[in-house]
């Protein structure tokens, strides 16, 4: 699934992008397709850098489906922001260019188009229950290779890593078994192979 363009429907997306919608007569139908892209943004780890990135998205009306940020190189004060966004090809190109021109940004990689890449997400899932439901949740957790990281007589906290879809599937299965709380990291991503982002 990583690296694949996902179509989220043409009609629903159009209203969100009036500038692109007006352009309809020039742009082909293909250009109006809403695509989902994962971008990896390497930034200086300085005050306000995340606010700059988020402000750019909200100020220009771009979507954020997922966003993660953490320092990745303490010596060089570098952080990596992984952002999953949606838009027409023209909007995606804009987002990349707009990110690129922020002063503390070192580089932007569109992992969706630049070769195969990996995407992973982690979740903590709390399930409260007893009896057969409790046993069943443990059995399913085993199938999904989730780990138990906390346990009481009446609850488990599972830790699980995988694709967004896998996490969704697991969380859905826990719903009838006493799902009490979910905490997710959002997507982190990286290019496959020898090349760096």
Partner 1 sequence: MAAEPITGAEIIVKALIDQGVEVIFGYPGGAVLPLYDALFKQNKVRHILVRHEQAAVHAAEGYARSTGKVGVVLVTSGPGATNAVTGLTDALMDSIPIVCLTGQVPTHLIGNDAFQEADTTGITRPCTKHNYLVKSVEDLSRKIHEAFYVARSGRPGPVVIDLPKDVQQAKYEYVNHAGQRHRTYNPQQKPDRAAVERAVELMAQAKRPLFYVGGGAVNSGPLACKMLTDFVRLTGFPCTQTLMGLGAFPGSDPLSLGMVGMHGMYESNLAMHDCDVMINIGARFDDRVTGRLNAFSPGSKKIHVDIDPSSINKSVRVDIPVVGDVGHVVEEMMRIWKARQVKTDSKALAAWWDQINQWRARDCLKFKPSDSIIKPQFALQRLYEAVKQKDFYITTEVGQHQMWAAQFLKFEKPNRWMTSGGLGTMGYGLPAAYGVQVAHPEALVIDVAGEASILMNIQEMATLVQYRLPVKIFILNNKWMGMVRQWQELLHGGRYSESYSDALPDFVKLAEAFGARGLRAEKTGDLDDVIKEMIAIKGPVIVDVCVDEKENCFPMIPSGAPHNEMLLGPEDQSAKPVSEEGMVLV
Site residues (vs partner 1, CB under 8 A): 19, 22-27, 44, 47-48, 51-52, 55, 59, 90, 93-94, 97-98, 100-106
Structure tokens at 134: 């409790």
Q: Based on CB atoms, which residue is closest to partner 1, 47 or 153?
A: 47
Q: How far is the CB of 143 from partner 1 (least distance, A)?
A: 46
Residue 140, burial from CB neighbour count under 10 angstroms (0-12, 13-18, 19+) = middle
Q: How far is the CB of 73 from partner 1 (least distance, A)?
A: 13
CA distance 85 to 72: 22
SS3 at position 96 = helix
Q: How far is the CB of 21 from partner 1 (least distance, A)?
A: 9
Q: Based on CB atoms, which residue is closest to partner 1, 91 or 123?
A: 91
16 near 61, Cβ under 8 Å? yes
Q: How far is the CB of 61 from partner 1 (least distance, A)?
A: 13
CA-based Rg of the chain, rounded to a whole angstrom? 20
Structure tokens at 47: 């005050």
Query: Helices 164-174 and 132-143 meet at what angle, rounded to 10?
Result: 170
Q: How far is the CB of 117 from partner 1 (least distance, A)?
A: 23
Q: Based on CB atoms, which residue is closest to partner 1, 109 or 137?
A: 109
Q: Based on CB atoms, which residue is closest to partner 1, 24 or 116?
A: 24
Q: Based on CB atoms, which residue is closest to partner 1, 27 or 182?
A: 27
CA distance 37 to 87: 8
């Amino acid at each position: 699934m990583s690296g694949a363009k996902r179509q989220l429907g043409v009609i629903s997306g159009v209203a969100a992008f009036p500038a692109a919608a007006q352009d309809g007569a020039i742009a082909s139908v293909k250009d109006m397709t809403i695509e989902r892209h994962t971008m990896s943004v390497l930034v200086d780890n300085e005050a306000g850098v995340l606010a700059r990135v988020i402000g750019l998205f909200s100020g220009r009306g771009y979507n954020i489906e997922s966003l993660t940020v953490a320092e990745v190189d303490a010596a060089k004060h570098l952080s990596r922001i992984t952002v999953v966004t949606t838009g027409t090809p023209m909007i995606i190109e804009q987002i990349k260019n707009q990110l690129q021109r922020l002063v503390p940004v070192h580089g932007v990689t569109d992992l969706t188009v630049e070769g195969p890449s990996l995407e992973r997400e982690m979740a903590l899932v709390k399930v409260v229950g007893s009896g057969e439901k409790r046993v069943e949740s443990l059995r399913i957790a085993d199938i999904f290779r989730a780990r138990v990281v906390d346990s009481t007589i009446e609850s488990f906290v599972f830790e699980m890593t995988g694709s967004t879809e896998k996490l969704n599937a697991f969380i859905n299965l826990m719903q009838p078994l006493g799902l009490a709380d979910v905490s997710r990291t959002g997507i982190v991503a990286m290019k496959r192979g020898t090349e760096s982002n």
